[in-house]
Structures are given as C-alpha cells and as structure tokens.
Chains A and B, each alone.
Chain A
Amino acid sequence: QLQLQESGPGLVKPSETLSLTCSVSGGTISSNSAYWGWIRQSPGKGLEWIGSIYYSGITYYNPSLRSRLTISVDTFKNQFSLKLRSLTAADTAVYYCAGDRSGFINILDPWGQGTLVTVSS
C-alpha cells in the first residue's frame, strides 16, 4: 500500500527558504506515468495546488508560486522535495504531499498526513 510522509521544519523565518521532503513507501517513485505533488492549505482556507513533478523529472508549477518554487525528485531515496524561497507570513499553511499514479496529474491519492509550517520571526 502506497504511503507518503512529509518532513521538514515547523517554523521558518520570513525571507528564508522552506525545504520539505516527502518520503514514499510501498511503491517506487519512478513508476511509469506517476506524478508527485505538493498542496497546501492556509489556516481556515481551501486547498491550493503548489506543483507536481512527473516520474521523468518534468515539473509543473502553480503560476503564482513559480518564481519562488523548486520541486525535485530523488529516485535513490524514493523521495521528492519542495523548496519555496522568500517566505512571508502568507506562506503559513499545512503542506501536503500526494501521489498520482493515474497519469492525469490531478487524481491525488494517497496524501500524506500534512505538516504545519509557520512563517514567523
């Protein structure tokens, strides 16, 4: 059974860079046609797609975050990662990783449990 788990700091200072990792177990991150995505949810708000990476390494980013965002994959560690630069308080959110083995990018299943990231000095 595929499972995903986010890890990273819970508190980051404004202007710094957020680095999160999603560890994949129960399956290989190199699966044909698989996408691996990041989604966030600000307190009390809805879901916002951050971006996804295809199993081949091609990335797709939310246009509103593209200038600050890098998503990468480490096939040896069976992980994928997010780096979000120049943080502000508006980046405070629960960050989720999710897998999509359908090949359609938007069929997100399963999800990690999420990790709360607070941007504050």
Chain B
Amino acid sequence: SSELTQDPTVSVALGQTVRITCQGDSLRTYFASWYQQKPGQAPVLVIYDKNNRPSGIPDRFSGSNSGNTASLTITGAQAEDEADYYCNSRDRSGNLVVFGGGTKLTVL
C-alpha cells in the first residue's frame, strides 16, 4: 500500500485563502477525496474526483491535482471552516483505501 502525507497543522486569517496539501505516489494515478471533521462529529466529504463538491458544500471549497500532490483550497476561509481535514485515495493496486494523517486547520 501507499502512504499519503499531510502537514499536521495549517492556519489562515479569517477571509483569506488557504491550501491544504496531500502527497503520495498513488495520487499520480488516482484522485484524492477530501473530508472535513469537526470535534465530536463524523467526517463529511467536501471534495471528490479532484474537484467535485457534494450537494450542500460551499463553493469556497475546491480541489486540484498536480503530479503526486492533491490540494484542497478554501477561498475566503470562514470561522466554521476550522476543523481537521483528511485526504484519501486508493493505493497502487486500486483496490485499497489510504488516508492521509490529517491537517488541523485554524482560522485566526
């Protein structure tokens, strides 16, 4: 299986733009999905297939991919965006799921 690496912590000023990254060899082949998790709650899918948002997810969330790196961008971060963010993808075989270690986003 492959690994996905995320920065443990990221901060952003209220209203500014922040990018959260996820690196791994499998991302050269498979798109990442991104999940938001607030304290005491289950994760929620916010981006899939590189840059698709499920219904109800604000359009300030977007995704992109380049080489072995997937990125989640929040344009105009809000206080309610403070949360842990996890990426996941498939491993090289395409049959198993791997998660990144998560990034704790602080909105200042």
**Chain B residues bordering chain A, tally (CB within 8 A):** 24
Question: What's the count of A-B pairs with C-beta under 8 Å?
Answer: 65
Closest residue on chain A to residue B33 by CB atoms: A107
Residues of chain A touching chain B, judged by Cβ–Cβ distance below 8 Å, are 37, 39, 46-49, 52, 60, 62-63, 96, 102, 104-114
Q: Hey, which chain B residues are within 8 Å of A110, CB to CB?
A: 45
Knowing A106-B89, A108-B33, A111-B43 are in contact, say whether A52-B102 is a contact too (CB < 8 A).
Answer: no
Residues of chain B touching chain A, judged by Cβ–Cβ distance below 8 Å, are 1, 30, 33, 35, 37, 42-45, 48-49, 54, 86, 88-90, 95-102
Interface residues of A, dominant DSSP: loop
The residue from A46, A62, A106 contacting B102, defined by CB atoms under 8 A apart: A46
Closest residue on chain A to residue B88 by CB atoms: A106
Flag if B33 contacts A114 (CB, 8 Å).
no
Q: Hey, which chain B residues are within 8 Å of A111, CB to CB?
A: 42-44
Q: Hey, which chain A residues are within 8 Å of B96, CB to CB?
A: 49, 60, 62-63, 105
